[in-house]
Amino acid sequence: MKKLVLASNNAGKLREFQQMLAPLGIEVLTQAGLGISEAEEPHSTFIENALAKARHVSEHSGLPALADDSGICVAALNGAPGVYSARYAGDRSDRHNNEKLLSDMQGVSDRRAHYYCVLVLMRNADDPQPVIAEGEWHGEIAHEERGGGGFGYDPLFWLPGLGKTSAELTPEEKHAISHRGKAMRALMQRLSAE
């Protein structure tokens, strides 16, 4: 596979996938660059949303499509924001989402959280066996934002073992341990076994 379309318009995700796929020589096209609208994400699970996004982009592009559905799941909030992570505060603003999460976590002692990512690669829109890979990254919700890197909830995702937030990691450090990095490595392993 020399070319695929990433089923996302999230600039942070685009950057991460381009960095991870560049060494493999895979050209990553964007759905926006091809004039493809975003797919609906009406489902309550990450996997169903990722399948819907990959199928939508593959149907409209005629090319293989890679979709990611990911989010942060907070134990004390019964897994929220979960699939609604991108629009937890009602819009797609990282700042608003982080403010809402901090507000919801005020006075909460159980700060455990994890990022979850599912990747779906569909070779074509009718692919009966899409390649599916998952990754999890465990940490805690910090009491305040720290760091200027990453995107989304990264300034609040505290890594006790490292003593820093995800937003304080270099892109290389993040890819090595993140949910998306784990899922991407699993996906590449599956593809190389075919």
126 is catalytic: no
pLDDT, tens digit, 9 for 90 and up, residues 62-102? 999 999 999 999 999 999 999 999 999 999 899 999 999 99
pLDDT, tens digit, 9 for 90 and up, residues 103-137? 999 999 999 999 999 999 999 999 999 999 999 99
Q: Which two tokens stand for residue 177?
A: 């341990």
Q: Among candidates 8, 159, 136, which has minimal Cα distance to 72? A: 136
Concatenating the DSSP letter of every residue in 156-174 gives GEEETTTTEEGGGS-HHHH
Q: What is the pTM of this model?
A: 0.89
Cβ neighbours around 26 below 10 Å, total: 17
Instruction: Provide the CATH number for the domain around residue 74.
Output: 3.90.950.10
Task: State the catalytic residue, choosing from 69, 91, 94, 154.
Answer: 69
What residue numbers bound the domain in which 35 lies? 3-192
pLDDT, tens digit, 9 for 90 and up, residues 31-64? 998 999 988 888 999 999 999 999 999 999 999 9
Residue whose structure tokens are 């895979």: 26
